[in-house]
Each structure stands twice: as C-alpha cells, then as structure tokens.
A and B are shown apart, each in its own frame.
Chain A
Amino acid sequence: MDFKIAVSGRSWGERAAAEPQAGKQGEARRLVAVLELTNISKHFGAIQAVNDVSLSIEPGQVVGLMGDNGAGKSTLVKMIAGNFRPSHGTMQMDGKELILHKPVEARQHGIEIVHQDLALCNNLTAAANVYLGRELRRGVGPFRILDYAAMYKRAGQIFAVLKSETRPRDLVKQMSGGQRQAVAIARTMLSQAKIVLMDEPTAAISVRQVAEVLNLIRHLRDQGIAVVLISHRMPDVFDVADRVIVMRRGRKVADKTIASSSPEEVTGLITGAIEQVS
C-alpha cells in the first residue's frame, strides 16, 4: 500500500512494470462494487441490442463477457464508456449514480476502453492516436500548443511497458495488427483507471502478444483495477477471468465464477443449447 502511494503520480502501467511480483489482492478486496448496472437496456429503433441487463463489478475483478455475434456486448460496454446513453436503467459507480454524456466524462470517472475496431486514425502517428481526444498541451491561456515531445515520450514509455515494438512517431497506416492493438491498448494506460473495458483486445494478434495482453490484464487486476474482457476465445477468458458473464440476444443469461463453470457450459449458453443459469 505504501508503495502505491509513493508512485501515485505514475500510471498503473509503469507501476505494474515496477512491481511485477505484486501479489493478488483478492483477500483484501472491498465488497462495494466499483460499477453497478441496474436494468440497463438499449435499443436502436426497433433493434433491442441490450435488454434489461443488471450486473455489478468489484474492484480488481476480471470479468469475461462472452456471447455470439450481435449479442450486445459492444453496445453494453459502449454505454459504460459514454459512447451511447442507455435507453433504460441506471449505472452506479462507487455507489453514486453515473450519468455519462460523452466519452470524456467516462474517462474522468476512470473508465477506459479499447474499442473493438480499435478506433484508430490511419493518417495520424501512434502517439497522436494514443492521445486522441486528450492531447497534452503546454503554454498558458489561449496560447496553449500541443506538446509533441511529451506525448512522444509518454507513448514510447507505454509501448515499452507493453513490450510492443511500436514507434510513437510512425503513422498508424503502416502498422501491423499487433502494433495497432498496442496503440489502442496504450490509451487505457494514460491515467489511473478504475475500470478498463477491453472489446476483443486479442483478436488478430500473435500468440506471444496475446500472452502479453493477458499478463497486462493480470497486472491491472493486481492494482485493484476492474477489467471487463470481451472475447470469443474461451481459453483467454478461462485463463484470466474471475467471472464470466454470457449474453444472448441482448439478455444476460449467465453470471458465474469461473471456478463454478466450464467451457462446455459457456459454449452451451452462448449458442442457446443451455437456456439460462443463475
């Protein structure tokens, strides 16, 4: 705990690197949920993308969110990230009602997201993409200019933590799938997050880099940060998650600890072979 305070000016990424042996703080977990959704629904016209979903996530918990294509996973996390507003239902963070009008507000609350399509601009550099929407500036008053040097430096440090050979000055256009993913993930490491939402962060990357991302998730967890991991890859979820939530056609059909479930059961829930478990 003392250690945490001593380096509180640094992001969790560096801290994770500085303290690789950090023990799992599972025993010390507080019981108050960091995020609680109550009867959340979202419809786009006639399409009911998310239907009456309630769930709560505790600090330092890794939740695997699974479901077939179109089950509503991305829509759910986008509501938490301030991209969409729920049609119905409420969200609470640390026991206080959470109303988000835009992504910036979610970030101010410590909610970070890796979007499924990565949300990258090909014509900008890696560093510019990492800082998109929260550019660093220097100077005073109306004469504040972009702080290129600081953004390159910080982005470079984060890529080093991610063990990704990504150069901050390179255009994203010319980057490999893994590098692009690193850029999107790096965004979540700019500030001290409370919740990190990862929408298929391991799609389209190599085995080595998948392991890197999973390690990262464990580091987050050890820092007491909650992670929601959306993935179609059963081994990944069973590897890092504490809990698995399954969605089908917008509804939550299962919410269990990993220990009490199995890949077979989850597969059944995803396809609908198993209707629902409590």
Chain B
Amino acid sequence: MAVTLDQTIAHKQHSFMSRLLATQTFWVVVAVILACLFLSFATDSFATPKNLYNITRNVTFVAIVALGMTFVIITGGIDLSVGSVLCLCSMILAVTMHAGYGIEIGIAAAIATALIIGAFNGILIAYLGFPPFVVTLGMLSIARSLAMVASNNTVVFQFGPDHDKLLALGGGAWVFGIANPVFYTIVLALITGFVLRWTKFGRHIFAIGGNEHAATLTGVPVRQIKVAVYMISALAAGIAGIIQTGWLGAVTTNLGNGMELQVIAATVIGGANLAGGVGTAFGAIVGAALIEVIRNSLGLLGINAFWQGVFIGGAILLAVLFDRIRNFRRSD
C-alpha cells in the first residue's frame, strides 16, 4: 500500500491559499479594495483626507458594535437591541457627566448599564428559553424609551467638568496619530479575534452555534456562555456609544436608530452565518467597511441617496449568494 493510515491522518486537506480563496471575507476585502481604487480614479473627492476621515470614523462605530454582535451570531442568536443600547449608554454617560460627575463615573455608569441590559437579555434567552429575536426586540423598544426618560428627550451637549476630556476621548488621536475611534476599533478587533480563536470560551461559542445539543451533552456550560455573549454584545454597543458621544459632542435620543440592521448586515457580509457556527472579527470589520464605502461612493458619484438601500441590500444578497455557490460546488 502506497499511503499508510498514518499518512492519511496527517494529511492536510487544504493549503493556506485554497482556504483563503474559499472564504467570503477574502472576497469582501477584494471588493472593498477594488471599490476604493475605482473611486480614487473616478472621483476627485474620494481619496481626500477629509473624506477618508469621515469614512473611517463612520466605519468604526458600526464595526465596534458588529464585533460584539459577532459573538451572538456565532452562537446562533441575534441582538436587535444594540442601536437602542448604544443610545441609552450614551445618554447615561451624558446625563451623569452633565450632572457634574467626572468622566470615570460617567463611563462606569454607561458600562454598568450595558452589562445589566446584556445580562437581562441573556438570562431571559438562556435560562427562560425566550427566543433571542423577541427578547432583543423588546429591549430595542425599552432601551430607547429609557434613554428618552433619562434625558427627558432633550439633546445633551454639556458634559460638566470633564467635558473636554470626553471630547478628546472620542475626537483625539493619542497613539501614533491614529484617530482614537479607529485605534479603539483595531484594539477591540484584535481582542475579539484572539478570544474567538485562542480561548476555550471562543471554542465553546462556535460549538453552541454548531450544535447546541451536542455542546450541552459534552458538558459545555451553554447557558452561562449565552448570557456572556449577550453581555458582550451590549458592552460593545455601550463602548461604541461612549466613543460616539465623545466624537459627536452631543447626544440625541435618535442616536443609533436603525443601527442594528447595519450591524447585522456588516457581520453577514463579512461572512457570519445567521444560522450560527460561523463568523470572524475581521469579517465584521470588512463588512462594516464595505457598507460604508458603498454609502460614501453613492454620494460622491452623485447617485440619489434614495438608492442607498438598494445597493446595501444588494451587497448582503451577493455576499450570501457567494456562500451558496460555494456550497453548491462542494456538494457536486
């Protein structure tokens, strides 16, 4: 016999290159790069510092929330409340600081709010068996309403004694001249990627999304992990809210309205599967980038903004279509 059993077992079926070419994320990256190249040549206004500044800033807020959402989606869940949670956390931060408390207290209050909401979602889903869609849909409504209550539906733009610190937190560029929101996004993406690939927690998240029953049978602490992923998702929304508050310098109760759909779109375009078990940190980032580039380019190319939804929706369908084609090919 030419090939021994040991050789078969040791054989790696796919090379690095073939695996790379088979990922949806890779092709989305290609699409983003091509779009950027095209826009740089086709318009004068794309590759300007000011436009790039706008794009990167807009990408970061969606991207940070999408990183948190990735955890939830990998477990096979969904979190529709992120936009409202972002708004509520921003508002808690703003109202606390406006009342004269320092930035540390404001941030602590915002983070605590996020974690409590995440835990609430998670416990209803994991321990009481509520469907994630319903729980987080309810929270979408509750959190935004609470934000209105907290601010009496006013715009907050005075952040007390630490006003300047907060604006610097969101608007500054403390490390190597990289704008702070971009820097935070990179750090959070690296942490997310690390957790998903290298920790037991990350492995268990994938297991739950792949086969929750099997995870339970083999002793994975499924319920605790589910609570944790909804807390992470809310935390990501809270962090994005804090940064966005510092960057905008004002909070309205409209903040993050409809953001959940953009975030979910970003993760799906980046290769996450809503059925669970698949998703990456990098995918969430490039998904967010592609959406923003599409939005930005329509403006620059002078296409009526009403078409935006068509193009973003088309991108979602294309990304998923790509995944389907790959599966068809494999099943041949």
Binary per-residue interface labels of chain B (209-248) against chain A in the complex, 1 for a CB within 8 Å, 0 otherwise = 1110111111110000000000000000000000000000
A169 to B14, CA, bound (A): 10
Are B9 and A120 closer than 8 Å at their CB atoms? no
Q: List B contacts of A170 (CB < 8 A).
A: 13
Interface-centre pick from A121, A159, A170, A187 (highest chain B CB count, 10 A) = A121
Known: A104-B219, A132-B207, A137-B200. Is A169-B13 also a contact (CB below 8 A)? yes
A215 to B289, CA, bound (A): 56
Binary per-residue interface labels of chain A (162-193) against chain B in the complex, 1 for a CB within 8 Å, 0 otherwise = 01011111100010000000000001000000
- What is the CB-to-nearest-CB distance from A33 to chain B, in angstroms, rounded to a whole number? 25
Chain A contacts with B in 211-266, Cβ cutoff 8 A:
none
Are A119 and B219 closer than 8 Å at their CB atoms? no
Q: List 25 A–B pairs whose Cβ atoms lie within 8 Å, in order of A's numbering.
A: A102-B219, A103-B219, A104-B219, A117-B214, A121-B206, A121-B210, A121-B214, A121-B277, A123-B209, A123-B277, A123-B278, A124-B207, A128-B203, A128-B207, A132-B214, A132-B215, A132-B218, A133-B220, A145-B198, A146-B199, A156-B6, A160-B5, A160-B6, A165-B5, A165-B9
Binary per-residue interface labels of chain A (118-157) against chain B in the complex, 1 for a CB within 8 Å, 0 otherwise = 1111111000100011110100000011100000000010
- What is the CB-to-nearest-CB distance from B202 to chain A, in angstroms, rounded to a whole number? 8
The A interface, classified by DSSP as helix, strand, loop or mixed, is: loop
Are B203 and A119 closer than 8 Å at their CB atoms? no
Asked if A115 CB lies within 8 Å of chain B CBs, one says yes
Residue ID in chain B nearest A120 by CB atoms: B214
Known: A124-B206, A135-B200, A145-B198. Is A119-B217 also a contact (CB below 8 A)? yes
Q: List A contacts of B220 (CB < 8 A).
A: 132-133
Contact partner of A160 (CB less than 8 A), chosen from B9, B203, B216, B277, is B9
Asked if A194 CB lies within 8 Å of chain B CBs, one says no
Asked if B12 CB lies within 8 Å of chain A CBs, one says yes
Are A120 and B13 closer than 8 Å at their CB atoms? no
| Chain A interface, number of residues (Cβ within 8 angstroms) | 36
Q: List A contacts of B197 (CB < 8 A).
A: 146
Asked if A107 CB lies within 8 Å of chain B CBs, one says yes
Are A169 and B12 closer than 8 Å at their CB atoms? yes
Asked if B8 CB lies within 8 Å of chain A CBs, one says yes
Chain B contacts with A in 242-269, Cβ cutoff 8 A:
none
Contact partner of B13 (CB less than 8 A), chosen from A83, A128, A167, is A167
The B interface, classified by DSSP as helix, strand, loop or mixed, is: helix
Q: List A contacts of B209 (CB < 8 A).
A: 123
Asked if B2 CB lies within 8 Å of chain A CBs, one says no
Asked if B11 CB lies within 8 Å of chain A CBs, one says yes
Asked if B325 CB lies within 8 Å of chain A CBs, one says no
A160-B6, A167-B12 are known; give 6 further A-B pairs, CB within 8 A: A121-B211, A128-B206, A128-B207, A145-B198, A146-B203, A169-B12
- What is the CB-to-nearest-CB distance from A146 to chain B, in angstroms, rounded to a whole number? 6
Residue ID in chain A nearest B278 by CB atoms: A123
A104 to B11, CA, bound (A): 32
A97 to B192, CA, bound (A): 43
Q: List B contacts of A159 (CB < 8 A).
A: 9
Q: List A contacts of B207 (CB < 8 A).
A: 121, 124, 128, 132
- What is the CB-to-nearest-CB distance from B29 to chain A, in angstroms, rounded to a whole number? 22
- What is the CB-to-nearest-CB distance from A200 to chain B, in angstroms, rounded to a whole number? 15
- What is the CB-to-nearest-CB distance from B77 to chain A, in angstroms, rounded to a whole number? 15
Q: List B contacts of A123 (CB < 8 A).
A: 206, 209-210, 277-278
Are B210 and A167 closer than 8 Å at their CB atoms? no
Chain B contacts with A in 1-27, Cβ cutoff 8 A:
5-6, 8-13
Q: List A contacts of B200 (CB < 8 A).
A: 135, 137, 144, 146
A160 to B30, CA, bound (A): 41
Contact partner of B8 (CB less than 8 A), chosen from A103, A128, A167, is A167
Q: List B contacts of A103 (CB < 8 A).
A: 217-219
